[in-house]
Chain A
C-alpha cells in the first residue's frame, strides 16, 4: 500500500472516530440529564422516598452510561483493530 493511501486511510478513520464519539456522548449526556432532572424534581416533591429514588437513580445512570461506553468501544475497535485494514493490506 502506498504511503499516500495509508495517510488518507488514517485521516478518514480518525475523523470518523472523532465525529462518532462526539455525537454518541452528546445523546447519552442529554438523556442522562433528563433522567437526573426528573429524579431531583420528584425527590423535592416527595422527600420520604428520596432514598429509594437515589439508589435507583445510580443504577439507571450506570445503565444509561453504558450507551456512551458502547460508542467508545466502537471507536476503540476502529482505532486499534480496524476490520477494514485487511482489505488494504495494512
Chain B
C-alpha cells in the first residue's frame, strides 16, 4: 500500500465508460444495508427482542433524541431518512478499515453525490411540510435574501462534500505515510484515529442535514396540528 492507493483506480470499463473501484464498493455497501433491512424486517420480535434489534433501536432512538435536541419534531419519514443516512455514510467510511475493501468516500464524486442527496431531501421535506408555494415564498421572504439563499445552497452542499472527502482522504494519507515509515505496527494508532474520525464525520454529516431540514421545514415544534407522526420524544 503506497500513497498512490489513496486515489481511486479504474477497475473495468463498460462501453468506454471507466468504472472506478469506489462505485463497486458503494454497491457493496448498498447490498449490505439492503440485505440487513430485508432480513431484519422479517425477523424482529416485539417480545424478548434479540441483541441486534436492540442495537438498531438504539440508533433510531439516538436520531430521535438528536432531532428533539435540535428543536425539531421527529416525524417518521425524517427519522428513517436520517437513520439510513448515518448508517450508509458510516459504513462507507468504515469500509476502509477492512483488509480488502477501501472507503468509497475517499473519492470526491461519492461525497458530492451524498451532499446532493442531502440537498434534495432538504427541498423534499420543505415542500412536503409547508406546501410548494409556501416553501418558495419562505425562500424569498425578504426578496433581498433570495440570492443569499440560493448561494447558501451551493456553498453548503460543496462544504459538506469537501468536509467528508477531506477527512477521509487525510486519514488514508496519514495511514499510508506511517506505513511507509514503519510497516509493522506504525499505522495502527493512526488507523484507530481515522476510524474515530469516520464515525464522527458520519454523525456530523447527519446533524448538518438535520439542521438544514429543520431550517427548510420552518419551526416544526409549533405545528402540532399535523396528524402525522407522533413519535415525539
Binding site for B on A (CB under 8 A): 52, 58-59, 62-63, 65-66, 69-70, 72-73, 76
Known: A66-B163, A70-B162, A73-B165. 12 other contacts (CB 8 A): A59-B203, A62-B167, A62-B197, A62-B201, A63-B208, A65-B167, A69-B163, A70-B163, A70-B166, A72-B170, A73-B162, A76-B169
Residues B169 and A59 in contact, CB atoms below 8 Å apart: no
Q: Chain B: which residue is nearest A61 at the CB level?
A: B200
Residues A59 and B204 in contact, CB atoms below 8 Å apart: yes
Residues A62 and B166 in contact, CB atoms below 8 Å apart: no
Q: Chain A: which residue is nearest B207 at the CB level?
A: A59
Number of interface residues of B (CB under 8 A): 16
Nearest CB of chain B from residue A46's CB, rounded to whole Å: 17
Residues A58 and B200 in contact, CB atoms below 8 Å apart: yes
| A58: chain B residues within 8 A (beta carbon) | 200, 203
Consensus secondary structure, chain B interface: helix
For chain B residues 14-58, which have a beta carbon within 8 Å of chain A? none
Q: Mark B157-201, 1 if CB is under 8 A from A, else 0.
A: 001001101110110000000000000000000000000010011
| B170: chain A residues within 8 A (beta carbon) | 69, 72
Consensus secondary structure, chain A interface: helix
| A76: chain B residues within 8 A (beta carbon) | 169
| B201: chain A residues within 8 A (beta carbon) | 62
Bound CA–CA A27/B201 (angstroms)? 21
Residues A69 and B166 in contact, CB atoms below 8 Å apart: yes
For chain B residues 82-100, which have a beta carbon within 8 Å of chain A? none
Q: Chain A: which residue is nearest B7 at the CB level?
A: A80
Bound CA–CA A30/B102 (angstroms)? 33
CB-CB nearest 4 A-B residue pairs:
A69-B166, A66-B163, A62-B204, A73-B166
Nearest CB of chain A from residue B125's CB, rounded to whole Å: 21
| A59: chain B residues within 8 A (beta carbon) | 203-204, 207
Bound CA–CA A58/B69 (angstroms)? 15
| A63: chain B residues within 8 A (beta carbon) | 163, 204, 208
Bound CA–CA A41/B163 (angstroms)? 29
